[in-house]
Chain A
Amino acid sequence: MALATPSTPRRTELRPGTAGAPALAKGPKTPRFRKLRKLGLPYLFLFPAVVLELLIHLIPMVWGVYMSFLKLTQFYIANWTEAPTAGFANYKVSLDFGGPIGSALLHSLWITVEYTVLSVGLSWFIGTAASILMQRSFWGRNLIRTLFLIPYALPVYAAVIIWSFMLQRDTGLVNHVIVDQLHLTSTRPFWLIGSNSFWSMLIVSVWRNWPFVFLCVTAGLQSISLEMYEAATLDGASIGQQIRKVTMPLLRPVNQVLVLVLTLWTFNDFNTPYVLFGQSPPQQADVIAIHIYQNSFVTWNFGIGSAMSVMLLLFLLVITGVYLLITNRRRQVA
């Protein structure tokens, strides 16, 4: 790009509408200004979003990374600019899988992976199946679609706290149905403590997330022309073949984003376990977001909590990168 010469000072170009206007009307400057305005305008529109993004996301993130290198114990939290630096000590403690903090973190990571894979898989399956079933028009379709979206539309806290009431051992609806009405077991199972707590959390999560899949996939299906199915039918394709050969390939771009977004949300899910179990969830449901939070209150060392968060961020970055790489390559091959 050519350097700006003294004869065309940039200041004039950046001052539209005012005194500069007559000058701009003169010959060669006009197209350049227009070009610049064309280039600059989108950035102007983006500006508020960028500022908010910086304030809300990036600055706290940078602070979080900075904190992870501090020995931020209770003696410094009120004035943590004075906290001594810890180097990589916080990372060492978190990654020492033989030690109490590291092994608990590893356990929690494993629980989170199981939780995410199962929750995303089930949500995706149920949501996609429901939207395919709702694809053909029939009487009452809109009503059912609306009903399906209710779990997603409810505020998280209200929805999950209702689940926690239902899952209580003595007074909950779930045990009332299982034990008192259906007589499936004679002893009342626990749902909020012990090993069942993982399944409780999973069910609540799937219940909350599948309508989102339903919504996205329904939108994606709108773009698939009915002629494709007609053609497939003429060729003698069964329903199963139609789904596999027509619907799924055409939904690929939707699914790619959908699965990624759901995975990241579920991996970082704090609300569901927190509202369901309180701040110290049972070991069997100790997912990473709440583990990091609670761990900070066991040690009151927020440097370690930050180090764990930074590692979580890196972990998810890697996962996302690999995912995008694989799915994009496959699409190019396809």
Chain B
Amino acid sequence: MRLGRFASVVALAALTAASITACGGGSSANNSSPTTLTYWASDQGTSIANDQQVLAPALAAFQKQTGIKVNMEVIPWSDLLNRILAAATSGQGPDVLNIGNTWSASLQATGAFLPFDSATMSQIGDKSQFLSLSATGAAGQDPVGLPIYANAYGLYYNKKMFAAAGIANPPTTWDEMIADGQKLTTGGHYGLSVEGGSDSENAHFAFIFGQQHGASLFSKDGNTPQFDSPQEVAGVEQYINLMAQNKIVNTSDAEYSNGTEALQDFASGKTAMVMWQGADGSLKTDGMSPDDFGIAPIPLPAAGQGNQVNSMVAGINISIFKNTKNKDGAVKFVKFMTSTPIQQQLNAAYGSLPTVKAAYSDPAFQTPTDKVLEQVLGSTSAPLPQVAKESQFETAVGEQMKALFADAASGKAINDATVKAALTTANQQMAAGG
């Protein structure tokens, strides 16, 4: 008996491996289950429940149109990439899913997604109807998804708090931003809030501020990570120092990781600024009046220094899982989700931007926020490198920055050496992983 129990307990140990394993599936798309689709939606709203509310009418309309029932699951950002990876490994996944557009090339490399070749594209429509396909996969390969929500980072600021501190306009340079932030950091209020514990948010800013210092994350062939270049170190340090040195970020933000807390602090007036992707919808849900906030581009570096980049090409793509049992239905669903009326309906609800040109005829997308984000997206944003190792970059560097924020919060020194050491670790981890 003792041995039996022992064996089963030890076997449990191996389940760590097993849970990642499961059996790999190599089957390809077919149409054996034509009446249902499983859809993994990303969390675009203020909560999972909010997403369900926004998407339910669209799914009902799709069912009415095609007779296909869509079973939807909304997946939080903190789980999405791992869930997708587990699905790719096991072959057990949804038919259609949302992916962060920055992951496109990584997921493309797994071969678990259906490429949108010309035959598939012809069922959906012309490529030229889309604003941009720059973040849908590696150059020269068929895209593994089509954009459904476009976005960019902007600097949201609280107009009342700015007025009370005697600041007339949002900052346009980094120095102004820190100076304004310090004026606004008084009496339990802070200049800025950040999601210091979120791997993906951290990684996005590592990219944006790295760009501002002229860094490039990978070697030219895209294979060798170079996260610890002096330029990248400077970029990451600039971001962490908002808390460590400039002290315009509350140290509590080092704990924020679920992608809503920093924004809630802004909405409730605890902080005066937040760097966020289109968030008008969420701010409204969180109870902030649209008259109380403004949006400006995140300050760019002085002309001639680094790259004039203040956002990544952010957004969500919709992809089809290669093992789908309802390929035709999945393609129909992608066509539906990228159709002009649905694009208008969903993006207006979420405060993101439509990805098809025709949708911009709707005056809903002429708000001040949309104009700023459109301008950023059109002129000063850059896509994250579309290389196979991009997703690993987000996890490895995001995790290191989370630790740096934790250090900053507990008063440990943040300097070139500590930041470089953290980024070198991330670099080596990825290189050793092969």
> Which A residues are within 8 Å of any B CB, using their own CB?
53, 57-58, 60-61, 63-64, 67-68, 71, 73-75, 77-81, 89, 93, 99-101, 104, 168-170, 188, 190, 192-195, 257, 260-261, 264-265, 267-268, 270, 278-280, 282-283, 289, 292-302, 304-306, 309-310, 312-313, 316-317, 320, 324
Q: Is B154 located at the chain interface by the 8 A CB criterion?
A: no
On chain B, the residues within 8 Å of A300 by CB distance are 85, 106, 391-392, 433
If A74-B106, A78-B88, A301-B433 touch, whether A57 touches B254 (CB-CB below 8 Å) is: no
If A190-B409, A278-B197 touch, whether A101 touches B429 (CB-CB below 8 Å) is: yes
Q: How far is the CB of A86 from chain B (nearest CB, A)?
A: 8
Stretch at the interface among B108-116, B163-171, B302-310, B361-369: B108-116
- In the complex, what residue of chain A is closest to B254 when comparing beta carbons? A193
If A60-B21, A99-B428, A101-B433 touch, whether A312 touches B395 (CB-CB below 8 Å) is: no
If A57-B14, A320-B6 touch, whether A77 touches B254 (CB-CB below 8 Å) is: no
Q: How far is the CB of A42 from chain B (nearest CB, A)?
A: 13
Shortest Cβ-Cβ A-B pairs, 4 listed = A299-B433, A60-B18, A64-B17, A309-B17
Q: How far is the CB of B362 from chain A (nearest CB, A)?
A: 38
Q: How far is the CB of B195 from chain A (nearest CB, A)?
A: 12
On chain B, the residues within 8 Å of A99 by CB distance are 428, 432
B396 touching A312, Cβ below 8 Å: no
A283 touching B425, Cβ below 8 Å: no
B13 touching A60, Cβ below 8 Å: no
Q: Is B91 located at the chain interface by the 8 A CB criterion?
A: yes
* Cβ contacts A to B, 27 pairs, < 8 Å: A61-B11, A61-B18, A63-B18, A63-B21, A73-B434, A78-B110, A78-B111, A78-B322, A81-B26, A93-B434, A99-B428, A101-B429, A190-B254, A193-B197, A264-B12, A267-B13, A280-B395, A280-B398, A296-B20, A298-B395, A298-B433, A300-B85, A300-B392, A301-B434, A309-B17, A320-B10, A324-B6
Q: How far is the CB of B408 from chain A (nearest CB, A)?
A: 10
Per-position binary interface string of chain B over residues 1-36, scored 1 when its CB falls under 8 Å from any chain A CB and 0 otherwise: 010011011111111111011111110000000000
On chain B, the residues within 8 Å of A73 by CB distance are 433-434
A64 touching B18, Cβ below 8 Å: yes
B433 touching A80, Cβ below 8 Å: no
Q: How far is the CB of A141 from chain B (nearest CB, A)?
A: 30
On chain A, the residues within 8 Å of B18 by CB distance are 60-61, 63-64
B110 touching A74, Cβ below 8 Å: yes
Q: Which of A75, A89, A101, A324 contacts B111, CB < 8 Å?
A: A75
Interface residues of B in 66-81 (CB under 8 A from A): 78-79, 81
If A78-B88, A296-B20 touch, whether A60 touches B106 (CB-CB below 8 Å) is: no
Q: Which of B16, B254, B396 contacts A309, CB < 8 Å?
A: B16
Q: Bound complex: CA of A302 vs CA of B10, how far in Å? A: 21
Q: Which of A75, A80, A261, A293 contacts B9, CB < 8 Å?
A: A261
Q: Bound complex: CA of A305 vs CA of B9, how far in Å? A: 20
B78 touching A279, Cβ below 8 Å: yes
Q: Which of A68, A101, A261, A298 has the most CB of B within 10 A?
A: A298
On chain B, the residues within 8 Å of A77 by CB distance are 24, 85, 88-89, 110, 112
Q: Bound complex: CA of A188 vs CA of B428, how far in Å? A: 35
Q: Is B219 located at the chain interface by the 8 A CB criterion?
A: no
On chain A, the residues within 8 Å of B65 by CB distance are none
B23 touching A305, Cβ below 8 Å: no
Q: Bound complex: CA of A168 vs CA of B18, how far in Å? A: 33
Q: Which of A193, A260, A316 contacts B406, CB < 8 Å?
A: A193
Q: Is B255 located at the chain interface by the 8 A CB criterion?
A: yes
A257 touching B5, Cβ below 8 Å: yes
A268 touching B21, Cβ below 8 Å: no
Q: Bound complex: CA of A313 vs CA of B14, how far in Å? A: 6
- In the complex, what residue of chain A is closest to B82 when comparing beta carbons? A297
Q: Bound complex: CA of A101 vs CA of B425, how far in Å? A: 9
Q: Is B342 located at the chain interface by the 8 A CB criterion?
A: no
A261 touching B5, Cβ below 8 Å: yes
On chain B, the residues within 8 Å of A60 by CB distance are 14-15, 17-18, 21-22
On chain B, the residues within 8 Å of A63 by CB distance are 18, 21, 23
Q: Is B430 located at the chain interface by the 8 A CB criterion?
A: yes
Per-position binary interface string of chain B over residues 80-105, scored 1 when its CB falls under 8 Å from any chain A CB and 0 otherwise: 01100100110100000000000000
Q: Is B201 located at the chain interface by the 8 A CB criterion?
A: no
A104 touching B429, Cβ below 8 Å: yes
On chain B, the residues within 8 Å of A79 by CB distance are 24, 26, 111
If A78-B88, A260-B6 touch, whether A304 touches B433 (CB-CB below 8 Å) is: yes
A71 touching B78, Cβ below 8 Å: no
Q: Which of A78, A188, A295 contacts B89, CB < 8 Å?
A: A78
Q: How far is the CB of A113 from chain B (nearest CB, A)?
A: 15
Q: Is B403 located at the chain interface by the 8 A CB criterion?
A: yes
Q: Which of B5, B17, B24, B426 contacts A306, CB < 8 Å?
A: B17
B11 touching A264, Cβ below 8 Å: no
A298 touching B430, Cβ below 8 Å: yes
B24 touching A74, Cβ below 8 Å: no
A316 touching B17, Cβ below 8 Å: no
Q: Bound complex: CA of A194 vs CA of B197, how far in Å? A: 12
Q: Bound complex: CA of A310 vs CA of B403, how far in Å? A: 28
B10 touching A313, Cβ below 8 Å: yes
On chain B, the residues within 8 Å of A104 by CB distance are 429
- In the complex, what residue of chain B is closest to A189 when comparing beta carbons? B410
A78 touching B17, Cβ below 8 Å: no
Q: Bound complex: CA of A30 vs CA of B403, how far in Å? A: 74
Interface residues of B in 383-414 (CB under 8 A from A): 388, 391-392, 395-396, 398-399, 402-403, 405-407, 409-410
On chain B, the residues within 8 Å of A261 by CB distance are 5, 9
On chain A, the residues within 8 Å of B197 by CB distance are 193, 278
Q: Bound complex: CA of A313 vs CA of B6, how far in Å? A: 12
On chain A, the residues within 8 Å of B10 by CB distance are 264, 313, 316-317, 320
Per-position binary interface string of chain B over residues 330-360, scored 1 when its CB falls under 8 Å from any chain A CB and 0 otherwise: 0000000000000000000000000000000
Q: Bound complex: CA of A264 vs CA of B8, how far in Å? A: 11
On chain B, the residues within 8 Å of A61 by CB distance are 11, 14, 17-18
Q: Bound complex: CA of A219 vs CA of B405, how far in Å? A: 48
On chain B, the residues within 8 Å of A64 by CB distance are 14, 17-18, 21
Q: Bound complex: CA of A128 vs CA of B109, how far in Å? A: 54
Q: Bound complex: CA of A305 vs CA of B18, how far in Å? A: 10
4 other A-B residue contacts (CB within 8 Å) besides A74-B109, A77-B85, A297-B85: A93-B433, A194-B406, A278-B78, A305-B17
